[in-house]
Structure 1
Amino acid sequence: MHNETQPHLPTHDDEDSSEALSADALLRAYGKESSFFFASPGATWLGRGILASLPIRAGASLDDALPRLFGQARDRGVQRPIVVGALPFDPEAAPILYIPERLERAGRLRHTQPAATESALSGCTTNEFPPPAAYAAGVREALTLMRETALKKVVLSRTLDVVGECDIDQARLLRNLACRNPAGYTFAVNLPPTLRGFTPRRLIGASPELLVRRTGARVLANPIAGTAPRSADPDEDRARAEALLRSAKDRHEHALVVEAVVDALRPYCRIIDCPPAPELISTARLWHLSTRVRGELRDPAATAIELARALHPTPAVCGEPRALARQAIGRLEHFSRGLFTGLVGWCDAEGDGEWAVTIRCAEVEGGRARLYAGAGIVPDSDPWLEVAETAAKFRTLLDALTGGNA
């Protein structure tokens, strides 16, 4: 459907009856003039231009700012405004939220199998930070903290800088990600530029993890934690999946996240349905443990973005207890995460919306891309296996950049 300044265009009310828009057409239409893209298992969104935006400053109160933003859009002719964008890992840092000039909606992408992909860049050099040995040392420090303090889990991340010979084709990168991850959450969010005369700066990725979706009184959260790399050999691939499902270390890591999600939702929900055991889900590169937590709101005034902020950051991207994990991340990670392990999605003025966790992502500008990957560290973690896990997670974006085989 459309969020549009021109009154003759369809509005949100038409979305259930209109089949005029094709999700794949929206993906193909994404280009330099686009301001937002978000494809989930339920719907696909394409934004063009920016009609109104939230002031980019730390500490701004979203409770006050969002109603004003919706009011500005209505004053300019948008019948049912929708805010889109991303929130950073640090809840106190500045969000990137705006209302596009035009926002089109279609159903889910219809890819039935991964399509052939072409490279989104020409030639490249890469640089890891921290390098593998230093990251493994950081994991060992985290394990020492767990022995000496009440820390149960901490997520440690690293980056991979990719520099191409010319500008990265951001539209091609997005299409590659969407084709390879049809069951996930593929996204592109415009960011303030830092370089003059280059292509737009964007956060682009394909997350497997839904933080929260609100549809009326219904709430769905889908925490994911516990990971194993996939294999090209079908028998080995299935063996890895079954080993992950049996892994006491990964089941423990996953349970910490699910417990935190249920605890955060409990004040908002009169009913919560949480399965007793996780299930397996997969991406082109990885197996994950997944639990779908459903709830029914006590108060319909609780919006999707309010629920997302109550949940964020979960132990899947931070750790447990949260305060100790934040301290450990500040001590052991020597870079700013920015929007990585934050939130990306949308929320309408009635409170419905959908927010995914910004993992498997990169910040892209000109010929440069900074990729991010993290791993959950618990007492049974092996430092070099965590190095391997982050390397496997980099592959989602590396494959989409280079057109490599999944």
Structure 2
Amino acid sequence: MKCLLEECRAEDIKFYFSTPNYEMKIDKFTDIISFEKALEISQIISDIKDKLQGKLVFGAIPFDINESGKLYITDSWETNSVPFKERANVDTAVTDNNYPIKKEYIPSCEHYKEMVEKGVECITKGKLSKLVLSRGVKFQFPKNIDVTPILQCLYSHNPAGYTYFLKKESGKYVVGASPEMLVSKRGNYVYSNPLAGSRQRGKNQEEDLKFSKELNNSSKDLIEHNFVVEDIVRKLSHICKTVSFSEKPELLSTEQLWHLSTKIEGELINSNSTVFDAALSVYPTPAICGVPQSNAYEKIRELEGSSRGIFTGIIGWCDENGDGDWAIAIRGAEIDKDSIFIRAGAGIVQKSVAQEELEETEIKFRTMLRGLNLGEI
């Protein structure tokens, strides 16, 4: 069966979203929804519900729920319900993207380690239980970047995850391959699959098994993961009659990383609730922010010093029935003409060691660069 990315150029589409079970492509939008804060979105959608018959809302929401943003409305989209494993392969176009002329870490490695140490100090004093700190790297190229082979490569290597693409009004592209679905809604049921705690894959079967066992028995990673699961279950309990989940996390493997994974399911109290209601009730999770949320937000702003934008925000869609999927916008990049900017984060707890957290971000950078078809640059 065909794939919607066949014979498709990135510059000609507005939005693309692929999951293990379906893919969606949108070429145009008919209207824009502007919001000052993310928490306004549910009310805005409720107010214009009658106007959304036969239409679909899509886009991305920034990490900081107090930031403004835009969503898009369309009356035309294409969905392919064929599972990933049954779709035709997409041949990745030849690219000469991988020759940057400049690389800049933001912040520097030493500065990031200082950030981690300050985060651990804050946790030790009891102000936080967990904090997620990110850093970025910007690559400059000698000419404008061809986004199509990047999107094709991300898709081809992400059979079990959520490949996403959004062309912003500014002309910038947001593209990535997230392993993590924040919230999916179908009918009266919502689903979440948090991932927290990770290890790189091994170079051979023996090393791979060693790393997976190491993750599965890591007290630091299990503590970090439990923070996330407990937080989502608690928040979903406010909008759901029942919430069920497995007590022990499973190991989930992607091409480059092992993750601790827990599947959560809830039955909604209000049948009129939308996927926005569910997503914004649990967002942000400790996996990308920290515990408690308000203190973590404040510390992130202080230590990171700049807006994350869409990174660790959410990206997805909502139909006229309020059903939809919203994935965490990680393992991706923002592409602007001749530059690519990527971010990676690490979960900081009391046992965190600054050098180890720095190395975790480096592993994630390498994973993203390979996924972006850029190799070890």
What is the TM-score with the length of structure 1 in the denominator? Answer: 0.87
1:142 aligns with 2:113: no
| Aligned counterpart in structure 2 of residue 88 of structure 1, from 37, 62, 68 | 62
CA distance in 2, matches of 1:106, 1:399: 27
| Aligned counterpart in structure 2 of residue 329 of structure 1, from 300, 303, 326 | 300
CA distance in 2, matches of 1:120, 1:47: 27
CA distance in 2, matches of 1:279, 1:286: 14
SS of corresponding position for 2:77:
strand
CA distance in 2, matches of 1:383, 1:192: 38
1:189 aligns with 2:166: yes
Gapped regions of structure 2 (runs ≥ 5)? none
**Residue in 2 aligned with 1:110?**
85
Maintained 8 Å contact 2:331/2:344: yes
SS of corresponding position for 1:167:
coil
Letter paired with 2:59: G
Letter paired with 1:258: V
Q: Closer, same or farther in 2 for the Cα pair 1:116/1:399, shift >3 Å?
A: farther
Maintained 8 Å contact 1:155/1:376: yes
CA distance in 1, matches of 2:329, 2:149: 19
Give the number of aligned pairs.
Answer: 373
| Aligned counterpart in structure 2 of residue 123 of structure 1, from 78, 91, 99 | 99
Report the CA distance between 1:68 and its aligned residue: 5.6
**Residue in 1 aligned with 2:219?**
248
Maintained 8 Å contact 2:176/2:332: yes
CA distance in 1, matches of 2:214, 2:76: 47
Maintained 8 Å contact 1:36/1:190: yes
**Residue in 1 aligned with 2:18?**
39
Q: For 1:294-305, what aligned pairs fall within 5 Å after superposition?
A: 294-305=265-276
Percent identity, aligned pairs only? 34
**Residue in 2 aligned with 1:14?**
none
Q: For 1:1-400, what aligned pairs fall within 5 Å after superposition?
A: 24-26=3-5, 28-55=7-34, 57-58=36-37, 61-67=40-46, 71-72=50-51, 74=53, 80-107=54-81, 108-110=83-85, 118-119=94-95, 121-124=97-100, 125-193=102-170, 200-400=171-371
Maintained 8 Å contact 2:5/2:152: no
Letter paired with 1:265: L
CA distance in 2, matches of 1:265, 1:368: 39
Maintained 8 Å contact 1:122/1:166: no
Q: Closer, same or farther in 2 for the Cα pair 1:68/1:28, shift >3 Å?
A: farther
Letter paired with 2:299: A
Maintained 8 Å contact 1:113/1:179: no
Q: CA RMSD in A?
A: 2.1
CA distance in 1, matches of 2:284, 2:96: 32
Report the CA distance between 1:191 and its aligned residue: 1.5
Gapped regions of structure 1 (runs ≥ 5)? 1-21, 75-79, 194-199
